[in-house]
Structure 1
Amino acid sequence: MKRARVASRLALWLSAPALLGLLLPLQRAWMPGQGSIGWALDLLAHWQPLYGAAWLVTCLLGALRDRRWLLGLPLLALPWLTASPVAPRSQESSDLVVAVANVNIRQQDPAALLDWLQRKPANLVVLTELSPDYAAALAERQYGGFAHYALHPLASPPGLGVLSDHPLHNVRVLPDGLGALRMEADLDIDGRTVHLIAAHPKPPMATRKYRARDGLLRELASAATARPTIVAGDLNATPWSSALLGSDLRSLRRVSGWAPTYPSEAGGWFGIGIDHVLVSSEFAGTDAQRGPDIGSDHLPVRVGVRWHGE
């Protein structure tokens, strides 16, 4: 009986932070806010799997004394229900396989990345934190066999690159006001022109960076209503972040899942999912998976997409 009382008290202590954490994405969607409070709440909203685990423990501890706590178990579905919208799913084969890899500015050897791509081929690879040494090593290895590529390496995290089986046209690199870059290009896929954006906004560790990240995603979502678009990269936003939530962002939907990709330690399971592929309404998703350790502090992602438009 004494143990049951102790467990019940622990459940009461855990219940408030766990439940408030699970409800944060709803607040971010309805009242995103761009000030310092909104920034802080957005950082807290990232950890939905952790809040879910805490709520499960809460219900189980409380049930040792009062089985009515088990009535709270359905709330474990909230992380699935409150995540940003996903693209429709297709059971047909992929028209395009897209991989995203933050290769880490300190990493110089692409061997692990290219070995993974040999085992799990992709038609399009977006690289973030591309350093000059990494780019030179890619060139020595013939860019992993990709016929088309556009690289903008830098000795700092904004470096970007794209490897592609399909021709790339009108490649341009655009900065934001904080020094982050995005690479835009027109991708020729079987006679259709798709607008590709490789993006890596600054980590939202200050209010102005948070505003810049959210502003970029809203700008890209607005432009995606006019033409077929794929956005890929380290977006420094989880599926429960204001950067991916809200009615004005629904023209871009996730194909990637929400399994953690950063940091890569312990298989990534104690991190957050911030590496994504987003697509406009012309596309459906066919597959999504997280890749292995490639020597970076991020795990890569690999998704399949299929033309869904007319």
Structure 2
Amino acid sequence: MSRARLVSRLAPWIAAPALLGLLLPLQRAWMPGQGSIGWALDLFAHWQPLYALAWLLACALGALRDRRWLLALPLLALPWFTASPVAPHADGPPELVIAVANVNIRQRDPMALLDWLDRQPAHIVVLTELSPDYAEALARQGYGGFPHRALHPLASPPGLGILSDRPLHDVRVVADRLGALRMEIGLDIEGRRVRFVAAHPKPPMATRKYRARDDLLRELAASAQQTPMIVAGDLNATPWSSALLGTDLRSLRRATGWTPTYPNEGKGLFSIGIDHVLVSSGFAQTGAERGPDIGSDHLPVRAGLRWRGE
């Protein structure tokens, strides 16, 4: 038996788990569940780019023996179709640019972040894992020229901050039952008061944390049906997670893509996209991009928005 035909026998063994992984987001959307099984399935659902790569490898190996394997190549597109809904696209320059940066609780120097914002300006910047040392360093740098800010630094990962070039109204910090924080403010955009939420739910590394994250996103999505809303931060959820999928979550759509943002190692091969900007139906997105290394274990993201009306 030739070596190629021998290697091709691996194709079904690679294809089976890859296909199961590619189909997981459909299960997360239809039957999310909140128990231990749902939590475990949700963790496996995050890795859609790797499942697509494994499916490509399986098809290539299978084609060495039977070219009909190539008919299965279109399934590589499943991650695009199963990801959470994206905000509609609008032409023209953005009216509002949102940047999100998890600055890492151990980081002390904001210069890389400020250099990026100098090259790629934003109107509003959400900072997660904001420590007192980092906040003090920002103050010494004049907060990067942002005239308005709401900072809640902590010596632990729940610290949050918002830098803005426009006034922030009715600022409040809300803790969930596990101690994770979200910061809520009011913004005036195109003559309309918009609810802006900077959020950082705990990583879903236990069932109760997974449930708290999903409950937060569902609560915000329900509110977004009634009032214009922007949600931004390290949401600890990929576009294929139950936290962003489901009919009850469609009132908040992604303005960012699904390129990897965490961890910032290995050129994204084993990374996932968990830093997002979500918007309610009144907004369209003009484009999104991932930022450079800012000394954190996350890469920042930025998204351009336009108000298009309800």
TM-score of the superposed pair, with normalisation by structure 1: 0.99
Q: Look up the equivalent residue of 1:155 and give its one-letter code.
A: A
- The within-5 A match list for 1:8-27 is 8-27=8-27
Q: After alignment, is 263-272 or 70-79 more displaced?
A: 263-272
Distance in 2 of aligned mates of 1:23 and 1:100: 29
Distance in 1 of aligned mates of 2:135 and 2:269: 29
Distance in 2 of aligned mates of 1:150 and 1:161: 6
- The within-5 A match list for 1:79-90 is 79-90=79-90
- The answer on 1:240 being equivalent to 2:251 is no
Distance in 2 of aligned mates of 1:84 and 1:231: 15
Contact 1:267 1:293 survives alignment (8 Å)? no
Q: In the alignment, what sits opposite 2:132?
A: 132
Q: In the alignment, what sits opposite 2:171?
A: 171
Q: In the alignment, what sits opposite 1:220?
A: 220
CA positional deviation for 1:282 = 0.4
Q: In the alignment, what sits opposite 1:77?
A: 77
Q: After alignment, is 162-171 or 189-198 more displaced?
A: 189-198
CA positional deviation for 1:93 = 1.4
Distance in 1 of aligned mates of 2:86 and 2:166: 25
Show structure 1 runs of 5+ residues with no match. none
Per-residue CA shift, 1:121-155, capped at 9, x if unaligned? 00000000000000000111110000100000000
Q: Look up the equivalent residue of 2:160 and give its one-letter code.
A: L
CA shift in 2, pair 1:231/1:21, >3 Å: same
Q: In the alignment, what sits opposite 2:112?
A: 112
CA positional deviation for 1:8 = 2.0
CA positional deviation for 1:270 = 2.4
Show structure 2 runs of 5+ residues with no match. none
Q: In the alignment, what sits opposite 1:42?
A: 42
Q: In the alignment, what sits opposite 1:31?
A: 31
Contact 2:25 2:241 survives alignment (8 Å)? yes
Contact 2:190 2:307 survives alignment (8 Å)? no
Q: After alignment, is 266-275 or 233-242 more displaced?
A: 266-275
Q: Look up the equivalent residue of 1:194 and give its one-letter code.
A: V
- Partner of 1:19, secondary structure, is helix
Q: In the alignment, what sits opposite 2:182?
A: 182
- Partner of 2:9, secondary structure, is helix
Q: Look up the equivalent residue of 1:31 and give its one-letter code.
A: M
- The within-5 A match list for 1:190-201 is 190-201=190-201
CA positional deviation for 1:60 = 0.3
CA shift in 2, pair 1:187/1:269, >3 Å: farther
Q: In the alignment, what sits opposite 2:270?
A: 270
Contact 2:148 2:168 survives alignment (8 Å)? yes
Per-residue CA shift, 1:49-90, capped at 9, x if unaligned? 000000000000000010000010000000000000000001
- Partner of 1:306, secondary structure, is strand
CA positional deviation for 1:2 = 2.0
Size of the aligned set, in residue pairs, is 310
- Partner of 1:25, secondary structure, is helix
Q: In the alignment, what sits opposite 2:148?
A: 148
Q: After alignment, is 187-196 or 19-28 more displaced?
A: 187-196
Distance in 2 of aligned mates of 1:259 and 1:109: 25
Contact 2:230 2:277 survives alignment (8 Å)? yes
Q: In the alignment, what sits opposite 2:260?
A: 260
Q: In the alignment, what sits opposite 1:206?
A: 206
- Partner of 1:16, secondary structure, is helix
CA positional deviation for 1:265 = 1.1
Q: Look up the equivalent residue of 1:8 and give its one-letter code.
A: S
CA positional deviation for 1:9 = 1.3
- Partner of 1:162, secondary structure, is strand
Q: After alignment, is 115-124 or 259-268 more displaced?
A: 259-268
Q: Identity of paired residues, percent?
A: 77
